[in-house]
Structure 1
Amino acid sequence: MLRPRGLHDLRRAGRPGGPGQPPAALHYRADDVLVVSGMPGSGKSTLMRRCITARLVDSQQVREEFAARLPAWLPYFVYRPLVRAAHYRRLRRAVLGGGPLAVHDCGALPWVRRWVTRAAARQGRRVHLILLDASAGEAREGQCARGQRVSAYAFARHRESARRLRRRLAGTGEPPAGCASAVVLDRAGARALREIVFVAS
């Protein structure tokens, strides 16, 4: 079990030369906000649904809700603006509503994470980051597995955003501005994680 503080780079955990064994559980304070970031296909939605029992705000979930109501032949790009608008409305309500919260962060729009950290700070809440550091190949495999590949242009934007975030974490040795902690996981570390719990301090 790990109570994250500061930066925890857990890539290669459990392997020779790695930082010990990957944690089976992450514990956060009951009123904390957790932001889960990474490239499309890196496993953000899977991790959130598998490990978190608190309230989730996941753009993938919103997309699936729209897809279930619309004709199957309708391309996603046609109703993508509606999905994004609905996701941001849901995110705003959830953050301002208080309580434990986990947020899906696509990473390509840093302003979203900045808004979350500012809004949470005004409420006296801490924000934490989990970065799923998948390779481009792993992310593409993840997209194929769920049957929802993003365009080459969009994927390049996500990939560059993830690269910048990794470089910033490595360069400063600290979480991003406004975040109380950051945990970096590779695929093996994400699979080893069994629960993400929000507990009373």
Structure 2
Amino acid sequence: MRPRRLVDLRAGRTRVRRLRYPAGDVLIVSGLPGGGKSTLMRRVSGDTVLIDSQDVRERWQARMPRLLPYAVYRPLVRLAHYLGLWRALRSGAGVALHDCGTLPWVRAWVGREARRRGRGMHLVLLDVPVEAARDGQRARGRGVSAYAMARHQRASRLLLRAAEESRLPAACTSAVLLDREAARQLEAIDFDG
């Protein structure tokens, strides 16, 4: 399926095994921590650059002294993440971005960059219950503080509500809403020209 504007695949409305986007476009995968964003991004194929801040954090963590708290080098990790995203957007390849959802300015910036380069920007929004997301965090051996989870919940709720009301970001070409079951059924996300 090649999504156009808003496609709601939650609650078994439609069964889709493959999403297709034009080569060189940008896909933003957003939802709660532990909700399945990384799993979905592993299904992306084609000439696509995957951008996940957790990957950047883990690379930096491997180089830092074990006793050095993450808070000390977090600004460097964020800088490296956004620099990597900027390079990917300039490369001409398709880009799939793991979006924490709490920073709307990132989606706005990505949308502007995509539009400037004549590319589409698409959203995949995971609508997952909080408990399922927490289970996902525990399964991966990660956790998010109660404060951070509350911020993610608010941001996710606002983004989902806006999408449901067809109020997509200005540069957004399409949005797909997925629940846990629809995400499970999705086998591939292709950037195919």
Fold-level match, TM-score > 0.5? yes
Letter in 2 for 1:49: R
- When normalised by structure 2's length, the TM-score is 0.93
1:83 lines up with 2:77 in the alignment: yes
Matched, 1:107 2:111: no
Aligned to 1:11: 10
Partner SS, residue 21 of structure 2:
strand
Q: Secondary structure at 1:8's aligned position in 2?
A: strand
1:133 maps to which residue? 127
**Matches of 2:113 and 2:14, distance apart in 1:** 35
Aligned residues: 192
Cα distance in 1 for partners of 2:67, 2:137 equals 19
CA distance in structure 2 between the aligned counterparts of 1:132 and 1:185, rounded to whole angstroms: 5
Q: TM-score, normalised by structure 1?
A: 0.89
| Equivalent position to 1:148, from 142, 151, 156 | 142
Contact persistence 1:31–1:125 (CA under 8 A): yes
**What corresponds to 2:17 in structure 1?**
24
Give runs of aligned pairs for residues 1-201 of structure 1, distance below 5 A. Answer: 2-13=1-12, 19-21=13-15, 23-53=16-46, 54-171=48-165, 173=166, 175-200=168-193
Structure 1 residue runs of 5 or longer lacking an equivalent are 14-18
Q: What is the Cα-based RMSD across aligned positions, in Å?
A: 1.5
SS in structure 2 of the partner of residue 81 of structure 1: helix
Aligned-pair distance for 1:73?
4.4
Structure 1 position 78, deviation (Å) = 3.2
1:80 positional shift: 2.2
Aligned partner of 1:16 in structure 2 is none
Q: 1:44 to 1:142 in 2, by over 3 A?
A: same
Report Cα offsets for 1:16-57 as digits up to 9, x if no partner.
xxx132x11101001211111111111111210234452111
Distance 1:150 1:76, change over 3 A: farther
4+ residue segments displaced more than 6 Å = none
Per the alignment, in what secondary structure is the counterpart of residue 12 of structure 1?
helix
Aligned-pair CA distance for 1:174? 5.1
Structure 1 residue 155: deviation in Å? 1.2
What percent identity do the matched residue pairs reach?
56
